[in-house]
Amino acid sequence: MQERAGRAVVVSGTNVKLPTALGIPLGFIVSELITNSAKYAKGNITVRMEKSATGYLLSVSDDGRGLPAAYDPGRSKGLGMKIIQTLVKQIGGALQFAPRDGGRATRVTVAFRPQL
Predicted confidence at residue 65, as pLDDT, reads 78
Q: pLDDT digit string (tens) for 66-111?
A: 777 777 777 877 888 899 999 999 999 999 988 766 666 889 999 9
Taking a C-beta distance cutoff of 8 angstroms, is the pair 107, 98 a contact? Answer: yes
DSSP assigned state of 41: -
Q: Give the pLDDT mean for 4-15.
A: 82
Close Cβ partners of 78 (under 8 Å, ≥ 6 residues apart): none
Taking a C-beta distance cutoff of 8 angstroms, is the pair 26, 69 a contact? Answer: no
Taking a C-beta distance cutoff of 8 angstroms, is the pair 97, 110 a contact? Answer: no
- Per-residue pLDDT for 1 more than 60? no
Q: pLDDT digit string (tens) for 51-67?
A: 999 999 999 999 887 77
Q: Kindly report the pTM of this predicted structure.
A: 0.85
- Per-residue pLDDT for 27 more than 60? yes
